[in-house]
Amino acid sequence: MLHRYGGFYFGVAAGDYDNEGYPDTYMTGYGRSVLYHNNGDGTFTDVTATACVANEDNWATAAGWFDFDHAGRLDLLVTNYLKYDWNHDLLRSSRGGSPSLLRPFSLRWFEYAPLP
């Protein structure tokens, strides 16, 4: 699947973002990340453009699915490398519509102090 895009891919997150019962796959990468919708028949469709999750011009290293707004649909958190700040991207799912991208999304609760 990824041979069309080239580049380097670092992480993968599987989650059923559309609640159809099949795990969809988001792959994080350098320059571009990719979201594949599981068709339920052993094939996947690239829906990156329609879902607005290419994360271009970033170096995405990890992602995770969770229900950010308790709406019963999975949202996607993407962490980016080499930005040197705490801002990352959160894709918020919506029922029957286009997802919304909350950018920047701050992860400040993960701050820690180094040990002396």
Per the CB < 8 A criterion, the answer to whether 93 and 77 are in contact is: no
Has residue 98 been placed in a domain? no
pLDDT digits 0-9 by tens, 41-66 = 999 999 888 887 887 777 888 888 88
pLDDT < 50: residue spans in the chain: 106-116
Q: Could you tell me what percentage of the chain is helix, strand and coil, using 3-state DSSP and rounding each to the nearest 5?
A: 10, 45, 45
Has residue 115 been placed in a domain? no
Has residue 44 been placed in a domain? yes
User: Residue 29 belongs to what domain range?
Assistant: 10-84
Has residue 89 been placed in a domain? no
Which pLDDT belongs to residue 110? Answer: 40
Q: What total number of domains does the chain contain? A: 1
Q: With H, G, I as helix, E, B as strand and everything else as coil, classify residue 2.
A: helix
Per the CB < 8 A criterion, the answer to whether 7 and 56 are in contact is: no
Which pLDDT belongs to residue 38? Answer: 94
Which pLDDT belongs to residue 2? Answer: 54
Which pLDDT belongs to residue 12? Answer: 92
